[in-house]
Structures are given as C-alpha cells and as structure tokens.
Structure 1
C-alpha cells in the first residue's frame, strides 16, 4: 500500500464497557481485533502519527474522556480496553451518534493537524465505521480501513460495508500490517 500523506489513526468506540444491546454478538469480533488495533496504535505512535480516539459518551452528558476510560477499565471487559488505553499524547473526542464527525470538533482538529488521510479502526464495521468513512469521504479525506482492525456484529453486513467503502468512497481496504506511516 502506498504511504498516505498526513495520516492519523482514528480508534472508534473501543473504550467500552460492552454493557449494551448487541454486545454479546460484538464481543467475539472485538476479541480478535484488539491485538491488531493495539499493534496498529503502537506503530502509529512510533512513527509520530496522531492517534485520535473518537468514542461514544454512552448518553452520559457530564462525561469526559478520563471518565469514559476509567468506567471502561472498571467494567467487566477491562481486558479488551487495557491494551488500547490512550496514552498522554493521544487525542480524544467524544461523540453522541454513529459518525465520528457528527456534531464533534473532529473536523477542526484534523484541519489543525493538517491530516488528509484517516486510518479507521474499531467498531462497529457496519455502523460507526461505515458512517464515519462516508463522512470522511464527503470531506475529501483519504480513507484506509484495515479489515482485521474493525469489529462487527453481523459478518455479512460487515463485508458489504467494507465493499461499499472500497467501491463508493475510494477507501483502501487492507490488513493492518499493510498500513504504512
């Protein structure tokens, strides 16, 4: 894969307690993606590529990123959160809906960082990742989605979503190890 210009890794909704509808269907895929995402984050950090966590606030409007992280680490699936824990250089944006852009300051943050290409990883492939990829595409941002670094609820819908991202949004669908920084 060609090295994209001015990239950032965006980790979508991985700071999570998994105490929500569809969690039992999601957890098997999450378990497989966590080590892949952790390696991708580490490679990005070593290459001085920004790592931006964009995470649901789970309807807790008084929450902030530290509270979201602490709640997830105190939850029943802390083992899935700990390897992905934001470090002191990580950026964190809270969202309330599916897209990482919808009513968040992410677009402004990306412009301040001069980011032109997003590497999207996290969950859920057929929901938040898909909608975020579409919103990135309409903002003329390049998109890569490592298929082994996104978790799904429904495998068939996830495959269709990846194909839509590739075909309709020009996303590079690859393995995480093929992402170059």
Structure 2
C-alpha cells in the first residue's frame, strides 16, 4: 500500500493571527505536528501534496463569495503556508523534489477541479494521510471524496483544526464512524 500526505489549506489566511479567515490559536497550535509529519514524509520520500485554496479577487461567480470574506487571493501572502511549513517550502528552493506537489484548489475538496485523483492513481497511492485546516470544511470534503473514490484514510487528529470546536469534534467522529478512517494522534 503506497501512502501520500495531503497538507490542506495550512495558509496564512487560514491560520495566522492576521489571516483574513483565520481559525486562530487552534490552527497555530498544530504547526509543530503538521511540520513533523511533513518532515517525516519528506525524509521517507513519500508523496506530499499541498492542496491550497485559491480565489480571484471580487469573483462574483464563486459560491464562497457570499459565505466568507475574501481570503487566499491569488498572488497574496495569504496563500503562503503558515510558519514552519512555509520555512520547509523555502528550504526546497526552486528545485522541488519529484515527490512534492502543489495543487491550487477552488473548492473545499482537494479532488474537485484538480488533477489529484489522476496523480494519486499514476503513483499507485491507495492510502491518504490528511493534515491542515479546517477539519469540518476542507478536510471533511476531501476525506468524503477520498472515501468515495476508494482510498484508505488516516486523519492526524493533532494536525487538523477548525474555527469551530464543535464542528472539529463532530468531523473527527464522522471520519472514524462513517468513513472508516484511522484517526490517530502523535
């Protein structure tokens, strides 16, 4: 079974104190664990995908325009990864290893409108590890799509977080009880 890590929306706009749609301290508190898991996958040369929300300023057609303030606008530092994760990316420099991939996504799920499924299939990946934010939005929608496509899932409980503590807890239960995901800590 080949594994891949998907780092979902761990951006300044979603995590940093001054982020446009920040989940604040809960998201900041998982920085060390997200970075640790990322480093582990990198050292083992396992596939890593950064699935990063992107929006165009004043897009009247995007469904999130009515739901949330502008965030993760193309070309802004709001789309940079938060903290140590951005430092990890900067250390890679211009020549990223073949096992690390960047995907712009315009919907909650990392599968919708991206080549993620094809890239996973090409590499024979059947098991996905999910980290990032928000547990009950983009992590949830990505997990449901992965489940529906037959992938085995591991959710790293101490490397996902949300705006909403109740939504976070509910989503963790949903991953385990409805998607058969392995929800792990540490």
Runs of 4 or more consecutive aligned structure 1 residues displaced over 6 Å after TM superposition: none
Alpha-carbon contact 1:35-1:83 (below 8 Å) kept: no
Superposition pairs for residues 164-179 of structure 1, below 5 Å?
Answer: 164-175=174-185, 177=186
Match of 2:62 in 1: none
- C-alpha separation between the residues in 1 aligned to 2:136 and 2:13? 20
Are the equivalent residues in 1 in contact too, given 2:11–2:82 (CA < 8 A)? no
**How far apart, CA to CA, are the structure 2 residues paired with 1:147 and 1:78?**
18
Among 25, 34, 37, the residue aligned to 2:34 = 37
How many residue pairs align between the two structures?
A: 162
Q: Is the 8 A contact 1:119 1:146 kept in 2?
A: yes
Determine if contact 1:124/1:151 at 8 Å carries over to the other structure.
yes
TM-score (norm 2): 0.78
Residue 144 (str. 1) matches residue 154 (str. 2): yes
* 1:127 to 1:32, Cα distance in 2 relative to 1, 3 A: same
Per-residue deviation, 1:71: 3.5
TM-superposition CA deviations, 1:96-139 (whole Å, max 9, x none): 01001011110111011111010000000010001110000000
Counterpart check, 1:16 vs 2:12: yes
Instruction: Write the distance in 1 (CA, Å) between the matches of 2:82 and 2:12.
Output: 8
The RMSD of aligned alpha carbons is 2.4
Indicate the SS of the match to 2:56. Answer: coil
**Structure 2, gaps ≥5 residues long:** 60-72
Gap change, CA 1:6 and 1:81, over 3 Å in 2: closer
Question: In structure 2, which of residues 116, 120, 127 is the aligned counterpart of residue 110 of structure 1?
Answer: 120
Q: Which consecutive unaligned segments of at least 5 residues does structure 1 have?
A: 62-66
Deviation per CA, 1:33-52, whole angstroms, max 9, x where unpaired? 11100000100111111111
Higher RCO (CA-CA < 8 Å; seq separation 6+) = 1
Native 8 Å contact 1:59 1:96 kept in 2? no
Q: Displacement of 1:85 after TM fit?
A: 2.6
What corresponds to 2:77 in structure 1?
72
